[in-house]
Structure 1
Amino acid sequence: MGKKEDHHVIDIPSLAQELRVQLASLKSSTERVGGGAVQPCIVVDRVGELTRNVDPHEYVPQFVSIGPYHRTGNLVRGADKVSYLHAVLSAAAAYSGAPLDLEVYLTEMALLEGRVRSCYAQSVDIPSREFVRMLLLDACYILVRFGDVLGRRPEPPAATAANGLAQAGNRVVPSEEKRKAAVVDQREAVAVVRDVFYLAENQIPFFVVDKIHQLTFLDSKTPALEAIARYAHDLLRWTEYTVATPTVVAPPALRPEPANLLHLLHMHFTPTVLSSVKGSRGVFGGGRPVGRWRTATECYFAGVKFKRRALSTNGGGARSILDVKVSRGGGTLQVPRLNIDAETWRLLRNLMALEQSNPSGAGSHVTAYCVFMSQLACTARDVELLSRRGVIVHGLGNHGEVADLFANLCKGAVFDFDDAYQNYLRPACQTLERRFRSRPRRWMAWLKQKYFINPWLAAGLAAAAIGLVCTVIQAVYSVLSYSQPGN
């Protein structure tokens, strides 16, 4: 009998070479080009199924696709993107006496292909020719929409359209055709902001947009980031989510470049406590474990007062909705007002998705805030209480609907309440928990809420207390008169 062929022979040199290529790719994806320091890489990843199952529409574009994950059907918007490419080339011709050819743009995109592919956590099965074309068209689309390429600032989508007006005598009235056109443009502007800025899966790396801007304006000292960051700042300020001006608009030497447009929005949501504490474990760590967080109703019955904290650029004000503040004894909880509209849940969920995919590079402070609010406002009574205090403003049908949305906000998110580095609100939660566990404070809060709110009940309670004291004094004197009749 002949010797059987060995089917378990392993080509060790070939396997080693394959792993070396993967290691080299991993190293290049974690290094910032132009500098020697290794930075946490922000990748574009697909949202996990446990999170997506709550509401899949919150993560999928409905008007335009950016990047490789959702290039299907009408979402590609090929004709629109080609027209925006024409606008970029026209701007380059107007700005420079010797504008670059289209071939130069494509060549530069081809040189960036490997670096761009490493920014996607999922494999991208698109041929190089289509991939380079996608990068060029998507970057031009973003630049024209938000990068001030045509020499004018785009208005935030929620602003009232100024066009679509016609003169009628001394009155200004909207013409029917222009009014309809303005409505269509407004809806399109809202849809573009929603798909391009808010969605974690619908992104391309920002350095691609910046490269197109550099090629278009060769001698310009103003980077693409400045115009787009101003637009993002105005958008978030109008929605009253944040008034912060992050370091992205600082001098270029101090400016960290965002990984993509959603990451640019995320950079506005840094709590002031993170910048002041510097992430010290000695400050954040220690103390009683947080355990189960308390609802707004439970905190209220423990004597906690809720106050709306105004957004302000001053040193002592809140800079974003994440700047929750609690008094030293836990008697007052100041929460910035959260204006809930049709896009609030989409923005918060996608910011959390960005953090879930990039825990080292993006942190977890938006997730911590969302978990805190989902515990604080998880019932209709909680939402009603916070609405009366001005902490929550919504236009939905009822408080129960808002409570259900809060309760499902963090489904599928991985988060450790007691991790000092993940939960920046851990000290505030510990203070509230100590307040809740203090029985004397809870009894005093119960007395105030049951008797002192109604002035008649308060007067009756005071009269009863005075009568009780007088009765005790009378009883004491009666006993003394019997035991010491001479006195």
Structure 2
Amino acid sequence: MEKKADHCMIDIPTLAQELRVELSSLKSPAEWVAGGSVQPWIFVDKVGESTRSLDPHEYVPQFVSIGPYHRTGDLAREANKVNYLGDVLSAAAADSSAPMKLEDYLSELAHLEHSARRSYVHSFDIPSGEFVRMLLLDACYILVRFGDVLGRRPAPPQPDMANGVVPAGHRVVPTEERRAPSADQRENVAVVRDVLYLAENQIPFFVVDKVYELAFLDGKTRAVDAIARYVHDLLRWTGYTVATPTVVAPPALRPQPANLLHLVHMHFTPTVLTSGKRSRGGRPVGRWRTATEYYFAGVRFKRRALSTDGGGGARSILDVKASRGGGTLQVPRLSIDDQTWRLLRNLMALEQSNPEAAGTHVTAYCVFMSQLACTARDVELLSRRGVIVHGLGNDEQVAELFANLCKGAVFDFDEADQNYLRPVCQTLERRFRSRPRRWMAWLKQKYFLNPWLAAGLVAATIGLACSVIQAVYSVLGYIKPGN
């Protein structure tokens, strides 16, 4: 019996059209427009397993979820978000005689659904209606919490760092929130931690901006201005940075964040990158050394103050500076609490997922600090110099956290475009390899720091000189007895 071949009908034109649509969708998210400038696209991605395996709690929300990655159970906070939607609609009604209807918000966000989905590396099996609802509620939650929608949030005060002690608790809440009951303060801390600091817990900022635009039709302010004020005051109060949001990409136009963590990241731009000065020559870096090793090579550590007056002060904790000969290393003070590691690790996660768009400067700083302060002796030395201030259990615990800070991160020490601290490391390495300087530093640390040892060394030197002179005269007297 003859066996018939199976035939399958393929609609070639339809299949080709589907592939064209997919190709066009791959090209379009490569760039995004920000304030009239074209910027690389920032994606929201899951943190890699090799990175999160060390401490997965640093990347997972514990109070509220924003976006689709952790939208489960109590983290959704649906009731709170619906209440905040009501706050936004009420504020919009008070601001305009003809406010937008709820249907208008949903309709406008429906047009943004495709772009919003493409902002995530992973795809989600969420129906369009649920996805648009999530975007609207999450945007309203962000605007009420951080966007000054209710018009009642003053700037937070400066922290009290008297005697070098980090204030108790988390340094994140503005004035009226610090006067709230302790339960409300804990909630405020949790919201800042989950919404601002977590790389996976984000929605595209253009969604937030669209909701703000629909709520306040006068166009006098943008969502980025309202939220950036809160973020700027928060980071200034915590002592991480006093800089304004900056994007290192020409032309230097008004930056637009891709999400809230990216807005935080834009405050952490080293001055050397904004000035355009970047060294590409010199010998290979090899590796950084510990603070103790540099100290025994004669390097003095000095705290560099944050300043906005343009007088040469640091703008953020990333502005590490070495003197010409490497004799002094100026490092901005890093005030450490249990949120410091979460912030730095998630900023690194943002850079690891978007190296071309976000850069690698936070990663470079974290690698530098993880090697500089990886032992208890290093942490003790840097603490004495005012470079590190912490309220944790002991120096050994802090050193262990520093040593594990960059586990799983991909970073090239010798790549000038990745490592903005490469010139600093080259200067310190030249200092470390200079034997005369190391000998002088050894003598200074071993003898001249102790006045009794210094006096003994001077006395021994004088005695040796006298013995040599006496020996010379004895020889001369033997050779020329008449003189």
TM-score under structure 1 length normalisation: 0.91
Alpha carbons 2:306, 2:313 under 8 Å: kept:
yes
Counterparts of 1:111-190 in structure 2 under 5 Å? 111-153=111-153, 158-159=172-173, 162=176, 182-190=181-189
Alpha carbons 2:371, 2:403 under 8 Å: kept:
yes
Query: 1:27 Cα deviation (Å)?
Result: 1.9
Pairing partner for 1:484 from 477, 480, 483: 480
Judged with a 3 Å threshold, the aligned counterparts in structure 2 of structure 1 residues 159 and 48 are, in CA distance, closer, same or farther, namely closer
* Aligned-partner residue type, residue 135 of structure 2: L
Equivalent residue, structure 2, for 1:305 = 300
Alpha carbons 1:154, 1:231 under 8 Å: kept:
no
Inter-partner Cα distance in structure 2 for 1:159 and 1:478: 80
Equivalent residue, structure 1, for 2:338 = 342
Judged with a 3 Å threshold, the aligned counterparts in structure 2 of structure 1 residues 185 and 155 are, in CA distance, closer, same or farther, namely farther
Look up the SS of the partner of 2:275 in the other structure: helix
Judged with a 3 Å threshold, the aligned counterparts in structure 2 of structure 1 residues 194 and 147 are, in CA distance, closer, same or farther, namely same
In the alignment, is residue 293 of structure 1 matched against residue 288 of structure 2? yes
Inter-partner Cα distance in structure 2 for 1:135 and 1:453: 63
Inter-partner Cα distance in structure 1 for 2:427 and 2:178: 54
Inter-partner Cα distance in structure 2 for 1:3 and 1:452: 99
Counterparts of 1:305-384 in structure 2 under 5 Å? 305-315=300-310, 316-384=312-380
Query: 1:220 Cα deviation (Å)?
Result: 3.0
Equivalent residue, structure 1, for 2:426 = 430
In the alignment, is residue 63 of structure 1 matched against residue 59 of structure 2? no
Judged with a 3 Å threshold, the aligned counterparts in structure 2 of structure 1 residues 221 and 416 are, in CA distance, closer, same or farther, namely same
Query: 1:96 Cα deviation (Å)?
Result: 0.7
Superposition CA RMSD, Å: 2.2
Inter-partner Cα distance in structure 2 for 1:247 and 1:460: 56
Once structures 1 and 2 are overlaid, which stretch shifts more, 181-190 or 422-431? 181-190
Judged with a 3 Å threshold, the aligned counterparts in structure 2 of structure 1 residues 11 and 475 are, in CA distance, closer, same or farther, namely farther
In the alignment, is residue 84 of structure 1 matched against residue 80 of structure 2? no
Judged with a 3 Å threshold, the aligned counterparts in structure 2 of structure 1 residues 65 and 474 are, in CA distance, closer, same or farther, namely same
Query: 1:314 Cα deviation (Å)?
Result: 2.2
Equivalent residue, structure 1, for 2:159 = none
Alpha carbons 1:88, 1:216 under 8 Å: kept:
yes
Inter-partner Cα distance in structure 2 for 1:196 and 1:131: 18
Judged with a 3 Å threshold, the aligned counterparts in structure 2 of structure 1 residues 308 and 53 are, in CA distance, closer, same or farther, namely same
Judged with a 3 Å threshold, the aligned counterparts in structure 2 of structure 1 residues 36 and 393 are, in CA distance, closer, same or farther, namely closer
Inter-partner Cα distance in structure 1 for 2:174 and 2:22: 51
Query: 1:369 Cα deviation (Å)?
Result: 0.2
Pairing partner for 1:414 from 389, 407, 410: 410
Judged with a 3 Å threshold, the aligned counterparts in structure 2 of structure 1 residues 48 and 160 are, in CA distance, closer, same or farther, namely closer
Alpha carbons 1:30, 1:38 under 8 Å: kept:
no
Query: 1:35 Cα deviation (Å)?
Result: 8.1
* Aligned-partner residue type, residue 465 of structure 2: V
* Aligned-partner residue type, residue 92 of structure 2: A
In the alignment, is residue 396 of structure 1 matched against residue 396 of structure 2? no
In the alignment, is residue 101 of structure 1 matched against residue 101 of structure 2? yes
Once structures 1 and 2 are overlaid, which stretch shifts more, 286-295 or 415-424? 286-295
Inter-partner Cα distance in structure 2 for 1:197 and 1:478: 81
Alpha carbons 1:148, 1:154 under 8 Å: kept:
no
Equivalent residue, structure 1, for 2:439 = 443
Judged with a 3 Å threshold, the aligned counterparts in structure 2 of structure 1 residues 323 and 8 are, in CA distance, closer, same or farther, namely farther
Listed one character per residue, the Cα deviations across residues 283-341 of structure 1 (whole Å, up to 9, x for unaligned) are 42121111121000100111111111111112200010000011111111110000001
Inter-partner Cα distance in structure 2 for 1:15 and 1:49: 36
Equivalent residue, structure 1, for 2:266 = 267
Inter-partner Cα distance in structure 2 for 1:294 and 1:397: 25
Judged with a 3 Å threshold, the aligned counterparts in structure 2 of structure 1 residues 306 and 11 are, in CA distance, closer, same or farther, namely farther
Inter-partner Cα distance in structure 2 for 1:438 and 1:319: 32
Equivalent residue, structure 2, for 1:284 = 279
Once structures 1 and 2 are overlaid, which stretch shifts more, 238-247 or 378-387? 238-247
In the alignment, is residue 473 of structure 1 matched against residue 469 of structure 2? yes
Judged with a 3 Å threshold, the aligned counterparts in structure 2 of structure 1 residues 143 and 160 are, in CA distance, closer, same or farther, namely closer
Query: 1:37 Cα deviation (Å)?
Result: 6.1
Inter-partner Cα distance in structure 1 for 2:6 and 2:476: 110
Alpha carbons 1:247, 1:254 under 8 Å: kept:
no
Look up the SS of the partner of 1:32 in the other structure: strand
* Aligned-partner residue type, residue 106 of structure 2: L
Equivalent residue, structure 2, for 1:175 = none
Query: 1:38 Cα deviation (Å)?
Result: 4.5
Look up the SS of the partner of 2:153 in the other structure: coil
Equivalent residue, structure 2, for 1:5 = 5
Alpha carbons 2:173, 2:189 under 8 Å: kept:
no
Inter-partner Cα distance in structure 1 for 2:36 and 2:438: 56
* Aligned-partner residue type, residue 460 of structure 2: A
Look up the SS of the partner of 2:470 in the other structure: helix
Equivalent residue, structure 2, for 1:241 = 240
Query: 1:364 Cα deviation (Å)?
Result: 0.3
Alpha carbons 1:145, 1:154 under 8 Å: kept:
no
Equivalent residue, structure 2, for 1:199 = 198
Query: 1:486 Cα deviation (Å)?
Result: 3.5
Query: 1:158 Cα deviation (Å)?
Result: 3.8
Listed one character per residue, the Cα deviations across residues 241-297 of structure 1 (whole Å, up to 9, x for unaligned) are 00112359xxxx93111001100110000000111135xxxx421211111210001
* Contiguous gaps of at least 5 residues in structure 1: 166-180
Inter-partner Cα distance in structure 2 for 1:22 and 1:154: 47
Once structures 1 and 2 are overlaid, which stretch shifts more, 384-393 or 269-278? 269-278
Inter-partner Cα distance in structure 2 for 1:406 and 1:88: 42
Inter-partner Cα distance in structure 1 for 2:149 and 2:407: 40
* Contiguous gaps of at least 5 residues in structure 2: 157-170
- Would you say how many aligned residue pairs link Structure 1 and Structure 2? 464
* Aligned-partner residue type, residue 294 of structure 2: C
Inter-partner Cα distance in structure 2 for 1:35 and 1:53: 38
Look up the SS of the partner of 1:39 in the other structure: strand
